[in-house]
């Protein structure tokens, strides 16, 4: 069985080392523990080691887990693709959504965010380098999407997210440059707290941090290898 507290500490040390190399304070990078396909008990073991923010990909699996663990002070982030028929559940159960790539989804999340909850934090997922992938907004369309999302009352636009092709580390600098361009072109973003660059995973968190990542999404390096891709897909 994976020693989750030990692995978690190792990942924190990698983040600290990468920050040091870039002259950044270690607190400038948040760690999101990606718990897709993991049990509620595994999440609790990570929590006992001080981890409170968890990322999930599959809405039904996530909502079951969130309900099971609702007595705990955990912060849940949706990082997987989101279809419009699932937005109500997501608006009700999550604090963050990293995978917003079109206005229709953002609008539904805003409309369906339950009264009494703070605005839902969202990142726009950008398809920075993969023409074959269907998820993510094209870089040239991000500015218009950001402007439209800013006008929605119950979501708060927090930043950009990307999943580059494996090994394509220049994509991280491209997302960082896109963030800078948006901040320069849209003054209202500053007031929205647009402070997040969600990029970097188990295999590439160091180059992501070197390029300015403020949040790394790490699954395997904390919890061990996941079941096969086929089983993962079936969990959707
Ligand atoms: C699964 C997943 C991760 C974590 O990947 P690891 O390689 O296990 O660290 C990060 N981001 C997204 C969007 C994912 O789907």
Return the CATH number at 19. Answer: 3.20.20.10
Alpha helix (H) ranges present in 37-102? Answer: 40-48, 59-68, 87-93
Residue closest by Cα to atom 6 of ligand 1: 219
Measured from the CA of 202, which atom of ligand 1 is nearest? 9
Q: Is residue 186 part of a domain?
A: yes
What distance in Å separates the CA atoms of residue 215 and residue 200, rounded to the nearest whole number? 8
For the chain, how many structural domains are there in total?
1
Write out the residue range of the structural domain in which residue 27 sits.
4-219
Regions in the chain scoring below 70 on pLDDT = 228-236
The whole-number pLDDT of residue 235 equals 45
Residue 36 in contact with ligand 1 by CB distance below 6 A: yes
The whole-number pLDDT of residue 229 equals 52
Q: Is residue 139 part of a domain?
A: yes
pTM: 0.95
Q: Is residue 233 part of a domain?
A: no
The whole-number pLDDT of residue 16 equals 98
Alpha helix (H) ranges present in the chain? Answer: 4-21, 40-48, 59-68, 87-93, 103-112, 142-150, 170-185, 188-191, 205-210, 220-223, 229-234
The whole-number pLDDT of residue 203 equals 97
Best residue for ligand 1 mutational test, from 79, 127, 196 (most atoms within 8 Å of Cβ)? 79
Q: Is residue 235 part of a domain?
A: no
Residue 222 in contact with ligand 1 by CB distance below 6 A: no
Give the number of C-alpha atoms closer than 13 A to the C-alpha of residue 73, restricted to the C-beta side.
Answer: 3
Cβ contacts of 68 within 8 Å, gap of 6 or more: 40
């Amino acid at each position: 069985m994976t020693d989750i507290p030990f692995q978690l500490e190792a990942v924190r040390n990698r983040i600290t080392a990468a920050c040091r190399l870039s002259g950044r304070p270690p607190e400038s990078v948040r760690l999101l523990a990606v718990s897709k396909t993991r049990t509620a008990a595994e999440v609790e073991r990570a929590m006992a080691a001080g981890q409170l923010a968890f990322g999930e990909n599959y809405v039904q699996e996530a909502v079951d887990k969130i309900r099971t663990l609702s007595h705990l002070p955990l912060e849940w982030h949706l990082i997987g693709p989101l279809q419009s028929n699932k937005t109500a559940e997501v608006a009700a159960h999550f604090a963050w959504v990293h995978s917003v790539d079109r206005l229709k989804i953002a609008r539904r999340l805003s409309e369906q965010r339950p009264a009494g909850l703070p605005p839902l934090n969202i990142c726009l997922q950008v398809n920075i380098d993969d023409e074959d992938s269907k998820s993510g907004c094209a870089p040239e369309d991000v500015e218009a999407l950001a402007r439209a999302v800013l006008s929605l009352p119950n979501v708060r636009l927090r930043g950009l997210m990307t999943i580059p092709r494996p090994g394509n580390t220049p994509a991280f600098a491209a997302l960082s440059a896109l963030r800078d361009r948006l901040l320069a072109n849209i003054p209202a973003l500053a007031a929205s707290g647009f402070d997040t660059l969600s990029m970097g995973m188990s295999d590439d968190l160091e180059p992501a941090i070197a390029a300015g990542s403020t949040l790394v999404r790490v699954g395997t390096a904390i919890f061990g290898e996941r079941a096969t891709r086929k089983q993962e897909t079936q969990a959707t």
